[in-house]
Structure formats: C-alpha cells, structure tokens
Structure 1
Amino acid sequence: MPTAEKEATVAELTDILKRAKGLYLTDFTGLDVPSFTLLRKQLREESVSYLVIKNRLAKLAVKQAGVEGLDDVFRGPTGLVCADGDPVAPARVLTKFAEETDGKPAIKAGYIDGEVFIADQIERLAEIPSRDVLLGQMVSAIQSPISGLAFTLNGILQKLVGTLQAVAEKRKEEGGE
C-alpha cells in the first residue's frame, strides 16, 4: 500500500474513532468466513462496524484520535469494533457470539468514555441491559408507586361517594316518613 493510501486510511480510521462512543479490540484468529460475515451482520444491526486494519496503522489512528492505553493490545490479528450508538451494544453482541463459537473472536480490550476495559470487565458490561431497557425499568419503578397512590385515592373517593349517597338516602327516607 503506497504511503499516500496509508495516510488516507489512517485519517479515515482516526475520524471513525473520534466519532465512536465505544471501541473494542478483538482477536479474530480461527474465525471462518461465514462466521465472520454473520458477526459483522449482527454488529451492523446495532450500528456497529468491524474493521480489520494493519496493527501499525491502527496504532497511529488510535493515537491521533486521542485514545490512550491500548498500545500493548495491538499484537497479532486485531479487529476494531467501533460503536456509533450504544457503547455497550458491541460487548453484548461479541460476548453472545463468542459463547456460540467457542470463544471466537476473543475480546482483547475495550475503550469507553476514556476508560480502558479488559476482557473480564467487558463480559460484565455485556450483562448490563441496553439504555432503552434501563429507561423503561426506571419509568416502571417511578410509575408503580404513583399508580398505587392513584388507585388508593380512587378507592377512598369511591367510599366517600358511597357513604355520602347512603347518608343522603337515609335523610330522604327519614324526611319522607
């Protein structure tokens, strides 16, 4: 690859890395083409891209993007997984996929919000529900006590109305006699 082409590749990757909300590095050794294609499809469904680039060029792009702490990870075959949306979505997809394919691809490290995560931490991150699920759970938790209060108040009002109607009927009967 000529130098100008390498510079363009590094510049493009740097731009991708600057926009990415999450970055994961994987070792794709032993992953066959059909499995690799399936993995990329599953990642695309989560607005995530899987890039394979020479380690030397990837290191330059990572450095230019301001990502620190990953220099030691660029050894052997390395795939870059870049998340534009939910930064934890790739962790969920990669972890689930690795469970189904005998640990391939192996997660080397991750980088989210300026923090470097090792493989064990990424597996724990994968267990966290998505942002939308967490928001739904939070709304339910807030809504539940409010609904309970509304039902309680409604029950009290119905009893009050029933009592007032009974009193009114009783007075009507007493007054009619």
Structure 2
Amino acid sequence: MQSKNRVLKEAKVAEIREKMEKAQGIILSEYQGLTVEQDTELRKKLREAGVEYRVYKNTLVTLAAKELGIEGLEKHLQGPVSIAFGYEDPTAPARVLADFAKSNKKLELKAGYVQGVVYDTAQVKELAAIPPRDVLIAKLLGSFKAPLSNLAYLLNAIAEKKQGEVAE
C-alpha cells in the first residue's frame, strides 16, 4: 500500500502536469525578497492579465516536466521558484513579470517554456517585448487597411475627375 504522502505528491504532480499541458506560456521566476505587499500587487497584475501564478516544490515540477517530455527546464528549478501559467496569451506571463521586475529588483526572471520551446532569461525578456495578441492583430489589420484606403481614395479621385470631364 502506498503511503499517504506519496499519493498526495502524485496528485500534485498530476495537477502541475495538467496546468503545464494547458498553458501556452510558462515563465519561471525567483521571488525571494518580495514583501507581502509586492507579492499581492504582482498576483493582482497577473490575475488581471489572465495568468495563473503558483509556487510548487521544484522536484514536483521537474517530475511533471519529465512526464511531458520537457527537457531543459529542470536546470532552472533551483531555489525558490514561482511559476506563471499563461493560458490565453503565451507572452502575457513574461510581459507582466518583466514589467513588474523593472520596479521590483527582487523579482528575477529565470526561464520560460512557450509553445514547446525552453527559453533562458535573456530570451524571456525578449518574449516580454512582444505586444499582446490583440495589439498585433490590430497592427496587422491597420497595415491592410491603409493601402485599401489609399486605393479607394485614388479610385474616387479618378471617378470625380472623369465626371468633371464629362460635365465640361
């Protein structure tokens, strides 16, 4: 018969694995030294961005990552590590954590796992610079709209010119 402790650990590993599978973006950060107020503020910002923020035992996260075939994340699971799971926007956890780290030097980005790729600290900071999905879509649509607007303006000017010539 399995010990109660082992059953609890297996359940926790399954929970972590499920979150990791569901998440489009996962960011690891070191939070040691944050005050309660700073941690509360960080959690609020992450919640507003649709990001789940948790602290698990590193060994359990390592087991869950191995079960999912994620390699390279375990070397970043040293010391007190928090995990931010982004379910909607893969870059949201990196963006919120990096922004918060600018004014709170105790928070350090460690690594990330986004859409099947493990990223180091520098790459996570680059991910943080990517605008949210809706902003990217708006920019794309804007770049489509500008040439179409110019074409419509040109066609309208040609039509008005021809009407002016017919009227003469």
The TM tier, using the shorter chain, reads: over 0.9
Q: Output the TM-score relative to the length of structure 1.
A: 0.89
User: Hey, what's the Cα distance between the residues in 1 that align with 2:140 and 2:158?
Assistant: 28
Query: 2 CA distance for matches of 1:24 and 1:150?
Result: 46
Aligned length: 165
Letter in 2 for 1:90: P
Task: Give the match for residue 120 of structure 1.
Answer: 122
Q: Does 1:32 align with 2:30?
A: no
Q: Which residue of 1 aligns with 2:79?
A: 76
Which whole-Å CA distance do the structure 1 matches of 2:37 and 2:70 have between them? 31
Q: Does 1:99 align with 2:99?
A: no
SS at 2:16 equivalent = helix
Partner secondary structure for residue 163 of structure 1: helix
- Across the aligned residues of Structure 1 and Structure 2, the Cα RMSD in angstroms comes to 1.3
Please tell me the residue identity of whatever aligns with 2:25: G
Q: CA deviation at 1:66?
A: 2.6
Match of 2:166 among 158, 164, 167: 164
- Could you say what secondary structure the match of 1:68 adopts? coil
Distance 1:164 1:63 in 2: 77
The Cα shift of 1:65 comes to: 2.6
Q: Percent identity?
A: 42
**C-alpha distance in 1, partners of 2:44/2:66?**
28
Moved over 3 A (4+): none
Any idea what SS the aligned residue of 2:69 has?
Answer: coil
Structure 2 Cα separation of the partners of residues 2 and 32 of structure 1? 31
1:51 to 46, 49, 54: 54
Q: Which residue of 2 aligns with 1:155?
A: 157
Tell me the secondary structure at the aligned position of residue 150 of structure 1. Answer: helix
Deviations along 1:52-99, one digit per CA (max 9) or x if unpaired, are 011111111122233221111111001111110111011110011000
Taking the aligned partners of 2:65 and 2:54, their CA distance within structure 1 comes to 13
Partners of 1:123 and 1:56 in 2: how far apart? Answer: 25
Q: Which has the larger radius of gyration?
A: 1
Q: 2:140 aligns with which of 131, 138, 141?
A: 138
TM-score w.r.t. structure 2 length?
A: 0.93
CA distance in 2, matches of 1:113, 1:84: 11
In 1, Cα distance between the equivalents of 2:9 and 2:85? 20
